[in-house]
Structure formats: C-alpha cells, structure tokens
Chain A
Amino acid sequence: MISSELSNRIIFILSLLGLAVASFLFYEYQISGSIVCPTGQGCDIVRASPYSRFFGISIPILGIVFYLTMSALAVVRTQLFSFKIHTLQLLIAVLGVGFGIYLTYLEIFVIGAICFWCVLSFIISIIVLLSVILARKNL
C-alpha cells in the first residue's frame, strides 16, 4: 500500500509521460515517413496494419484522451478525494489496461510485429492502474 498523495502524484506524472508517448505516436501517424522505433520496423508495420484505427479513430488519439482524462482526474483528486473519484479512476484505468492487453495481443499474435511506443504506453498504463489500486483508501 502507498499513501494516497504518492499514488496520485505517480498517476499524474505517468499520465503526462503517457500523454507524451501518445502525442508522439499521433504525430508519427500523421506523416508518411518511417517511425523512429527502437524495435526495428515494428512501429511501421503496426501503423500500416488495419488495426491502427479503432472504429475509424486513430489509436494514438484514444491514448491521448485516456491520459488526459487520467491526469485531469489526478488534479481533481488533490482537491477532493472521494470514493467516487477513486472508483472513476479505477474504472478508466482498467478500461485503458484492458484495451492495452487487446492491442498487445493483436501486435504479437495477429500483426506479428511489436511497436515499441505502443508497448511503452501499455506498461505506463499498467503502472497507473497499480498506483490506483495500491492507494490507501484514507477517505
């Protein structure tokens, strides 16, 4: 268990980091050249696949919305920490990680390529979820 303040700060900082990763990918999805990718050409393959969009929405946009919501909730939580806010954080974080599991499954088993930035975002979302869960509920 970690204190509520520490948990909230971790959530805030990691959400901003996740936002940076998602924004970078959003930028890369707009241009046509190769993506800077430490795992070789994985990012290009993932971007070129039909799974780079979810119901017509570019996946990085979903990432941006997710991290923006998480960081905004962290700001709200510094002012009023209620059970509702915590539940909302938990719900959105679970949704985010769940979606991340689905995307990572697609990368490994369907597309057959790993996009470094997507996996990094997935790891960040897992730590965000853990911080939400581990927060001491000192309501």
Chain B
Amino acid sequence: MNGDQSPLTEIKARFGESIILAVQTTADETLTLWTGNNHIKELLIFLKCELIQPYQMLFDLTAIDERRRLKRPGQPYSDFTIVYHLTSFGRNEDIRIKVPLIGEYPETGTITDIWPSANWYEREVFDLFGIKFAGHPCLRRILLPKSWNGHPLRKEYPARATEAGPFVLDEQMREIADHDLKFDPAEWGLETHTEETDFMFLNLGPQHPGTHGLLRLILQLDGEDIVDIVPDIGFHHRGAEKMGERQSWHSYIPYTDRIDYLGGVMNNLPYLLSVEKLAGIVVPDRANYIRIMMSEFFRIASHLVWFGTYAQDLGQMSPVFFAFNDREKILDIVGAVTGGRMHPSWFRIGGVAHDLPDGWKKMAQDFVNFFPKRIREYEKVTINNRIFKERTVGIGVYTANEAIEWGITGPGLRSTGVSWDYRKQRPYSGFENFEFDIPVGKNGDCYDRSLVRMEEMRQSLRIIQQCIDHMPEGSYKSLHPLTTPPLKERTMKDIETLITHFLGVTWGPVIPSGEAMVPVEASKGCNAYYMISDGGTSSYRSRIRTPSFPHIQMIPMISKGYTIPDLMSILGATDFVLADLDR
C-alpha cells in the first residue's frame, strides 16, 4: 500500500466492495462515500489510524434531513444522513463519509471514543435533528434550552415565527426555564468534594467581562485552581442554519456577515465560494482581488480587536483604545468602499456589489504605510512586556496533535508549529497569485498564539499592498446568469432580459442541485459553508462550520490546573466570537 493511492481503493482493499454503498459526486470534488450504519466506526478508525497519511482531523460532523429532498441521484435511501467530514493534512485532502439513517427519530453510534471533539458535534446534531447517538457520554441539548420543544433543523419545524404561532412565556414556563439554568454538579459527573477539599462552583458568565459575550462557563474550583470547566453555550444561537433554508441564495448574504461579527465580508466569502461552486460561476480577477483586499482588511481589523481586548483581559488598560482607533481607520476604508462598516454584506454571488470608488488606492496605501509602525509599537508596549510574557508564556499549552485531534484551525493550530493555512494549502479566490508567509509558533501556548496573530497582520498588509499594486482591470462581477443582482446595464433591454432581471430580483436565482463546501482561512480559523441545493431558490441545507465551536470545546481540556486569571488569558488567546460559536 502506498499513501498516494486514493483512499477509496485502500478502503476497498481493506474492507471489500460491499462497505461502500455509493460514491457521490459533489460540486466541490471532495470524495464523498456512503457507508452503512454498522460499518461507520471501523471505517473511521481505519481512516484515522491505519491509513498511511491518515485523515487526522474531524473537521465537521453534521446531519441532513433528507425527507423532502427531491434530487439525490445515485444516493442510497435515507431519512436522515449523518455527514462526517475529515481532513488529512498529509494528503491536503478532505473526505466526506455519509451514513443513511431510516426512521423518524433514528439512532446511530457515537464516535466520541475515536475523536473526543465529536462530543459537541453529536450533541448539536441531537439538539437540532433529534438523532440519538448511542454511547455518547453526555447526550443533551447544547444550543437550545433543556425545556425546548422540537428539533429546529428538521424539515417539519417552522422556519418563520409566523408559521410557528404566537410565543407565550407564562409563569410556569419561566419557572421551568429558570430551573434549567440551575447547575447541578452531579448531572455533569462532577464531585462536590474530595477527602481533602470542598470544591467551589463558580458561575462565570453569561454576563462576564472576561468571556467577551454570552458564554457561560461553570468552574469547579479548588481555591483559585481550576479543577474542571463545564461550558454552557447557546445564548447567542439565532438559528442561522435554519434561516439559510428560507432565505433566497442572495438574501442570505447579510446573515453570513453576522456569524463572525468581527470578520465582516470575510464571512461572505466561504458562503459565496460554495454557492459559486454549485452554480459553476467563475469570478473575474478584479472581483477576486477586491474580495481578497477587503477580507485582509477585515482580518487586520479582527486581529486588532483581539489584540486590544486581550491586553484588556490581562489588565492592561490602554491598548484597547489604540487598537480600536486603528480599527476605525480600517472601517473608514470599508465605509468608503462598501458603504457599511462592521457588516457591509458587500460581496455578491459572482463578484462584489459595485466597483471600487475613486481614491480607494490612496486610502488603502495610506493605511499600509501607516500601520507597520503601530504594530511595532504594540509589540513594544504589550507583546514584549515582561508581565505580559509572565501571563502568557507556558499558559494554555497544547501540542500539534492535540490541536488536530480537537479540530483546531487558524492561528491556534499554527502556534503549535503546523504550517497550515487554507490560503496557501488550498488557494481560493486567486490566493495562489500572492506572496506571503505563514507565521508559525513553536510551543502552542498563549504567547505563541499572540505572536502568530501579530505577524499575520503584517502578512495581511503585504497582501493588501500587492492588491494595490496589481489590481487588475475588468469587471467587478461575473456575467453568469445566476449572479445577483444582474448587472444593471444588461437588464431591461428586451423581454428576455427583463424577465431574467425580474426573477433574479424577486425569487432570486435557482442554483443547480448539488453539494459544495469551500474552506476559507478566516481570522479565527477555518470557516466553511456546506451548502446543499435541491435546485430551489433557497438552499436545502446550510451547514456553517465555524472555528469558534471546536476552539471553545477544547477550553476545559487546556485550562485544567491553571487559575482564574490564566483562564482569562487562555480565553483571550483563543480569540472566539460568540456569534461564531452558536450561529
């Protein structure tokens, strides 16, 4: 056997033909295999442990409610499909394993013993689909409150408030909801005391200055030492995935902005790349360059917020003001280019909303000239500060293997020395034309994560500089008929163009059926939208794979044994956004 072989041949060589129920072709050309419920575990173990150049990372785990899907050529019958999405760093390849489940509330086996990170993903699937995972250590709702009725991502569950009927919170329901928030250590298998000590349970959040949003962590403390942590998430859940099933392909763009609300248009990108893959749209060069430039501006803006708030978490008062002042300069550019600030919703299917305004070059160049000095200053003031180092060096350490095991991407992964950046490894939007380095750390501690982010800002500046220097001429939007909205000068020439325009604006485009996902290196890690079209005006299923979800899942593991101030350091260095976590 050698590692260059397709995993499909190796699977067949190992298990025989019969284990593969079907091989599905997808628009993103990821190998997608169907296998039976009874074989999934051995197949996953084989892919993770036995294969040469294995698929080490559980990239995503989700489900699809197939009961109303019409166009599934060549796929086995299934009511609910579980999708395991694995990544191999050695092969630079992904594989998708699908398992068909039959029945209204089907059950399958857990894979938490293969990947510990499957824990939250399986809970999420249980919460949103009602699919049970036998053998799961703690199968309970994760995003929705315990007393919630129904499983929202099932097709029979209404997507709009008008379909759901009026919502009333009466006294009794409130009591139940209040009761649900009470924390019972025994429920989570935590001891209240040992022979030597009584533990204190500290409820940190959902409102707490150190958690940067609505995150609730319940700390099991021995003095100030953290024994264990139980994260309670879902306070920021808005049902973004469900909304994708009711919005048109075009009108879903603004929702994506608000997933990682610091990332701005960078969030549009993975969604649109997937949709464009489905539709077969090729984006013109100029649009690609504009997209890259704006995304990199947002990467700097996002890292600036991280820098300022991180210094704040560590008790340094001033950097947050400096960082936000600089971010304001970026938002001014964003405002001049897009008309929006934090959530411009400015990318469109097939390109961007309009061309760059006059004078953009000067604004962007001014910022590129101005900013390196500030980065040096920040490094002097904060990163190289001795107290800062005391607070971050050797805190929250994890190894490259642990990071991969838990699905960590982005700066968190690179800080452990893994040089993995989707912009380099799987260039999208023409990143292959740009010169930039991938900063990597060594120790995988909070300090290295900080260094990686500081250096990333510099690299982003390099990319922006190249955009300024080599911005191609041409159209800012593809001429493909499925782009939205259709280019104005090509509409209303005759009855055909009028109708196309009318349909494109009212119903939105009809994206051909299929499945696609394009991972994007967002500021916090890998962001990807797994879009499934059933040939309709809205998606059949929109799966949003966000970096914050696995990152927060790992927090208890890397925080044990540290103290509360260290936890703030670890949380800050993780750089998460609660909207990104809960979606």
Our verdict on whether A and B bind, yes or no, reads no
Binding site for B on A (CB under 8 A): none
